Amino acid sequence: MSFYSDKRNHHTTLLGLAIGAAYALTIILTLEICVAIYQWADFATFNFVAAVAGVTGFIVFSDLRRYAVDNAALMVHRFSTIVKLWIGTFFVVVLALYLTKTGPEFSRVVMILWLVVTPFTLTLTSLGCRWWALRMYTAKGERRTAIFVGFSEDAQRLAESFQTSKILGITPVGFFDNRQGTQRVGSELPRLGSLMEAIDWIERNPVDVVFVGLVHARTSDIAPVVDALHDSVASVYFVPDSKLFGLGHMQYAEMAGTPVLVAYETPFIGITRLLKRFVDVIMSFLILLLLSPVLLAISIGVKLSSPGPVVFRQMRYGVGGQKIVVSKFRSMRNDPLPQTGEVRQATVGDARVTPFGRFLRKTSLDELPQFFNVLEGSMSIVGPRPHAVQHNELYRKQVKGYMLRHKVKPGITGWAQINGLRGETDTLDKMQRRIEYDLYYIRNWSLGLDFKIILRTVLVVFKDRNAY
């Protein structure tokens, strides 16, 4: 039996696929228009480009498909977000042309025109999809009324979403809860009575959907209400609290036809793992190839800056908590570790850092050898930054959920780093914030998010002052 048996969910799934296809088709049609404008180009020669762009666009714009279905307020996506995702898509196309050695066959005028025009056509598509989806779910007979029996925090958030997102097609009427108070959601969502009063109310007031919260109320209080719903035509949903057992961010899934609550899981299973690995290998290979002169110049600079090896290797924790060896260009003098074996993070004005090493750390060029780690499979381009083993053992005891960051491969850059948490974590509060960002990335991963992080990393490198 499916966890979500209501036909509305099949509609929203199909809607999401249709919107994803609309973005991909927009990219292809824009290319065709650009070819038509430039009369000396033949669209037949662009078939390969169109195919790669269409598939990549559908995948990269997956976030926009989800938002389009779940939240009308996010339907009109920020133009900057569309630009970033489109640049990532265009990069994959150019990379494909480079690897297949077919680049010279394509008109540069068409490619540049396509690059510039597509963000605007994608924005028009976003507006069109919003209009279409709203019309579908706000049409007469499509909207449904709903009440909440047992008003948990998650139920309140759900009610807020219904009130702010017309595209969801549900209008909340009120809630029943044994707790007294003046709880309201949004503008007006009144308390209609206690749990037992819900039975009589439902009999006298037909309602389309009933959401039953499973936290504050006792089973003995909820059971009579659920039993009474058997004699109604209302759709019934149970809303378990995400803080069940003291855990936050619970997600809902289905395994072998059985509904389950997911507390901890990795997003990289099956095809998503292969997709992530494919992008890592292609991008890291290309970056190392293009930056090979830079790597050589840095190696010479490190060798001349102070005695010692060019590359510094340190033990870190990788995916699954397994130890890996991470490489960096040496930025400090080759001093022996203290007898305690303690690893001290670099700080402002750290005397151990060489002048050339300070430049490397400031620009993150010292991280370039980690692209070899990506090629060998121990790291990813984007993921939680790996910490020294000693730091892991210290903070795993102080920060709740710390080790969950090891459910994915560590990365050269990450969501925390582009949000101001790059460099030294000299306080427990900073480390807690970094872990929060890392866990957000794991829960919300998409290929589009990876491209966004990569693009923003380039900007952060030149503006950020937190690396020493």
Structural domain contains residue 79: yes
Structural domain contains residue 291: yes
- Separation between Cα atoms, residue 443 and residue 134, nearest integer Å: 28
The amino acid sitting at 378 is S
Residue with the two structure tokens 């992008």:
279
The pLDDT score that the predictor gives to residue 229 is 80
Last residue of a domain, one of 137, 170, 190: 137
In sequence order, what DSSP letters do the residues of 9-46 get, joined into one string?
Answer: HHHHHHHHHHHHHHHHHHHHHHHHHHHHHSTT--GGGG
Q: How many CB atoms lie within 10 A of CB 246?
A: 6
Contact 147, 173 (CB under 8 A): yes
Under DSSP, is residue 99 helix (H, G, I), strand (E, B) or coil?
A: helix
Query: Are 158 and 275 in a shared domain?
Result: no
The answer to whether the predicted template modeling score (pTM) of the entire model surpasses 0.75 is no
Q: How many CB atoms lie within 10 A of CB 233?
A: 8
Dump strand ranges (E) for 101-152: 144-149
Helical segments of 138-213, H only: 153-164, 197-204
Going 411 to 417 to 418 to 424, the CA torsion angle's sign is negative
The domain in which residue 189 lies consists of: 144-262
As a whole-number percent, the residues of the chain with pLDDT over 70 amount to 75
Q: 385-403 b/e with 16+ CB inside 10 Å = b?
A: bbbbeebbebbbeebebbe
Query: Are 297 and 418 in a shared domain?
Result: yes
Residue 187, C-beta contacts closer than 8 angstroms, at least 6 positions apart: 163
Going 253 to 254 to 259 to 263, the CA torsion angle's sign is negative
Structural domain contains residue 2: no
Contact 48, 102 (CB under 8 A): yes
Structural domain contains residue 468: no
Query: Are 224 and 172 in a shared domain?
Result: yes
Contact 186, 123 (CB under 8 A): no
Structural domain contains residue 25: yes
Query: Are 244 and 277 in a shared domain?
Result: no
Alpha-carbon radius of gyration of the chain: 27
Query: Are 322 and 439 in a shared domain?
Result: yes
Structural domain contains residue 175: yes
Structural domain contains residue 1: no
Residue stretches of the chain with pLDDT short of 50: 1-12, 67-76, 182, 186-187, 337-341, 467-468
The pLDDT score that the predictor gives to residue 27 is 93
- Separation between Cα atoms, residue 137 and residue 132, nearest integer Å: 9
Query: Are 287 and 423 in a shared domain?
Result: yes
Query: Are 197 and 282 in a shared domain?
Result: no
Query: Are 362 and 411 in a shared domain?
Result: yes
Going 80 to 93 to 372 to 302, the CA torsion angle's sign is negative
Query: Are 233 and 376 in a shared domain?
Result: no
- Separation between Cα atoms, residue 399 and residue 378, nearest integer Å: 24
The pLDDT score that the predictor gives to residue 188 is 67
- Separation between Cα atoms, residue 371 and residue 288, nearest integer Å: 7
In sequence order, what DSSP letters do the residues of 351-411 get, joined into one string?
Answer: TTB-HHHHHHHHHTGGGTTHHHHHHHTS-EEESPPPPBHHHHHHHTTTSTTGGGGGGS--E
Query: Are 433 and 413 in a shared domain?
Result: yes
Query: Are 280 and 325 in a shared domain?
Result: yes
Last residue of a domain, one of 262, 281, 307: 262
Query: Are 91 and 74 in a shared domain?
Result: yes
Last residue of a domain, one of 137, 154, 186: 137
Q: For residue 204, what is the domain's CATH number? A: 3.40.50.720
Structural domain contains residue 448: yes
The amino acid sitting at 5 is S
The pLDDT score that the predictor gives to residue 116 is 94
Total domain count, the chain: 3
The pLDDT score that the predictor gives to residue 240 is 76
Nearest to 173 by CA among 204, 203, 210: 210
The pLDDT score that the predictor gives to residue 284 is 92
Going 32 to 37 to 43 to 46, the CA torsion angle's sign is negative
